[in-house]
Amino acid sequence: MKPYRDLSKAIHREGYVFIVSFAAVTFLFWSFSPSLGAISLILTIWCAFFFRNPDRLTPIGDNLVVSPADGIIQNITKAAPPSELGLGDEHMIRVSIFLNIFDVHVNRIPTSGKILVLHYNPGKFFNASLDKASQYNERQSVLMETNSGEKIAFVQIAGLIARRIVCDLEEGNEVKAGERYGIIRFGSRMDIYLPPDTSICVGKGTTCIGGETVIADFKAKKNSEHKFETR
């Protein structure tokens, strides 16, 4: 995957309208009150920071699963995947990544393969750090078959203040690990569901870098010491 060279893509396209709007408000406020203008300028800078779209160096290997998002591993449990993906009720390993408002919110493909199913599910907007967010919040679910023959799922989940999930994928797409595929505005969560015998390379509390941090390895021997909760 070639890194972006165009500086205009340093900001995700979803951010342009917000940045321009914040900048316009800053100009207006500054003409009336420098203090309000300064506060608005700080918010404008934060807005540009939120929508940043950095290049990443993705590890190579069809057996590797990289983090689909920046953030902190909130939980690693065994749970049934989203019913809309048709994977049945058998529990898989679910790795949940919480994104705060300062994390990069551009989402990335976790491993190379083919997109099988896409499903958008409208829902509520509970705090994304709550476990029930996986089931009840607005979400965009993706089922894919990896180049190594595994079926995995990854899910964009809207949070308390998030009000838009963007997914640029289409069913049948051939994708590569680390490729950008969407964004969630603003605080949010990503869940990734892996086969129950997958070796997990991270733990609860690990800080992940989307497209770079290896969270699982299909070929490595499963760590028998890793403890899971069952949901």
Catalytic residue (choose from 67, 112, 141, 188)? 188
pLDDT attached to residue 15: 66
The pLDDT assigned to 174 comes to 96
Which pLDDT score, from 0 to 100, does residue 224 have?
A: 46
Cα diameter, the chain: 64
Q: How many Å apart are CA 135 and CA 112, to the nearest integer?
A: 26
Which residue, among 130, 193, 117, has the nearest Cα to 158 in the 3D structure?
A: 130
pLDDT value of position 28 = 85
Sequential pLDDT tens for the chain (231 residues): 344 445 457 877 776 777 788 788 888 888 888 888 888 888 888 777 777 888 999 999 989 999 999 999 999 999 999 988 988 889 999 999 998 888 888 999 999 999 999 999 886 555 555 566 566 678 899 999 999 899 999 999 886 665 678 899 999 999 999 999 998 876 688 999 999 999 999 999 999 999 999 999 998 756 545 555 545
| pLDDT attached to residue 108 | 95
| Strand 229-230 with 71-79, pairing | parallel
Kindly report the CATH number that applies to the domain delimited by 64-224. 2.70.70
Sign of the CA dihedral running 89, 94, 100, 101: negative
67 annotated active-site: no
Sequence-separated (6 or more) residues with CB below 8 Å from residue 55 = 3, 4
**Hey, what are 9's tokens?**
């893509």
H helical segments located in the chain: 16-32, 34-50, 133-136
Write down the domain spans for the chain.
7-50, 64-224
Q: What is the pLDDT of residue 175?
A: 96
